[in-house]
Amino acid sequence: MRPSDPGYSRREFLFAATGAALAAKSALAATAPPAGPVLLTQADRQFLDDYAKRCFRYFWEQVDPHTGIVMDRARNDGARSGNNVGSVAATGFGLTALCIGASHGWVPKDQARTRVLTTLRYFWQHAFHDHGWYFHFLDATSGERRLNSEISSIDTALFLCGVLTAQAYFSSDREIRLLAKQIFERVDFVWMLNGSPFLLSHGALPGSGFLDSRWASYSEASVLYLLAIGSAHHPIPAESWYAWSRPLVHYDQWKFVSGGPLFTHQYSHAWVDFRHQRDGDPSNIDYFFNSQMATYAHRDFCISLRSRYGDYGPDMWGITVSDSPDGYVNWGGPPFLGPINGTLVPCAAAGSLMFAPQICLPVLQQMYNMYGSRVYERYGFTDAFNPNWEDKKFWVNPDVIGIDIGISLLSIENLLTGNIWRWFMANQYIQSAMERVGFQLSTPGIGIRERKQKPAST
């Protein structure tokens, strides 16, 4: 498929985006983002609650009722789009969304439980898998491979995050607990190493074998490595965590590890609670703080483009992999990754609400206040819009994308309640992985397992 095709996978664009590897040691920035509690007004919370409900609505409506597979994309007015293509990663976000919706009473808990069971039963009994790994794109009704997609390691990992979140939230349901355990423990993480001692493959193509690319640099795949290291039956070595490179980016006063657009700093954090802890030598990184700095640097990077794109500013910014007037595009910064054309991508700021609400929330409020229903409809914000496209026309993408809606919803929930972190971190696989890797909490005298084993409230 052409890169301009809106259905094209964002993974295809990222593999050449990372530069030479540099090891990051100790503190990464001389200037730190604001610390301390986040003070949200009632109006802030009302805005975020409305946005979250609209995001949740996507996962409630844009799903096949018999398989539980969530659509890759849809129109923001609720109509179908994308020729019934489902996304295994979006399905992982969708399982997590069901927990969020039930916990807030947006849907009855019994109905959410039924949806979870439908999905888990289908993926355990019927969906094609190879050593437990699933296709990136599936037909939402038949489960057949779509868009010539790969058997994807990262997209399967994001699905597993949803599976384990549902297991924790519906902990009183024996069938959900068992199905989640079976689905996770079937995944052969060692097989995905494809002969490498430490580095996981991006995936495989039926009939062609493994892809050449590996997860060899900082990316959204940190949760993939933790799941693999924590596996009970097919674990990879803990040394795998330190085998991938950590390229260091300097931008103005910011210094942080990065491997691509802003979403690479968000996805793993949607589930893994990296706050107040660092991994061990030789990296010794606080990844939550690192993502905060990446967000602040991205804001400043967008502001620096204001002379070319007058709509950009302190409360109007955000560029990450998305649809555009020219199709599906890999863009962002710093460093500059383009071509950038003035398009704004709301999920860039929304996905970082859990890191930097002080600068992200005003962006979303400004987008809503300035453009209203032109960019904010049934499922929240459109995937992308450009106020001054060719001939000064206002371009709005008619579509939303499941994973972009998903990262927005989960980031809001973590900001407001921390529930996703609490539910996901209750699982034994992540607890074990973080212990094996050598994560150390910044609070003296408290161990990883002791901290993570607090009961998950439903």
Per-residue confidence in pLDDT tens, the chain, 458 aa: 333 333 334 444 343 333 333 333 334 544 677 766 788 999 999 999 999 999 999 999 999 999 999 999 999 999 999 999 999 999 999 999 999 999 999 999 999 999 999 999 999 999 999 999 999 999 999 999 999 999 999 999 999 999 999 999 999 999 999 999 999 999 999 999 999 999 999 999 999 999 999 999 999 999 999 999 999 999 999 999 999 999 999 999 999 999 999 999 999 999 999 999 999 999 999 999 999 999 999 999 999 999 999 999 999 999 999 999 999 999 999 999 999 999 999 999 999 999 999 999 999 999 999 999 999 999 999 999 999 998 889 999 999 999 999 999 999 999 999 999 999 999 999 999 999 999 997 655 445 555 544 445 44
Contact predicate 267/40, CB 8 Å: no
Structural domains of the chain sorted by starting position, each given as residue range(s) with its CATH number in brackets: 23-452 (1.50.10.140)
Residue type, 115: R
What pLDDT is attached to residue 244?
98
Contact predicate 264/220, CB 8 Å: yes
Contact predicate 297/239, CB 8 Å: no
Q: From the CB of residue 417, how many other CB atoms can be counted at a distance below 10 Å?
A: 13
Contact predicate 421/379, CB 8 Å: no
For tokens 């997860």, name the residue: 215
Residue 437's alpha-carbon distances to 266, 298, 424, 454, in angstroms, are 20, 29, 18, 21
Task: Indicate the Cα dihedral angle 122, 127, 131, 136, nearest 10°.
Answer: -120
What pLDDT is attached to residue 449?
56
What pLDDT is attached to residue 4?
35
CA distance 138 to 155: 12
Contact predicate 57/94, CB 8 Å: no
Preceding peptide of 346 cis, ω within 30°:
no
What pLDDT is attached to residue 450?
52
Preceding peptide of 335 cis, ω within 30°:
yes
- Give the residue from 288, 292, 352, 290 showing the smallest Cα distance to 320: 352
What pLDDT is attached to residue 314?
97
Please provide residue 442's backbone torsions phi and psi, each rounded to the nearest 5 degrees.
-80, -10
CA distance 343 to 46: 27
Instruction: Spell out the long-range contacts of 103-106 with Cβ–Cβ below 8 A and sequence spacing 24 or more.
Output: 103/169, 103/417, 103/419, 103/458, 106/53, 106/56
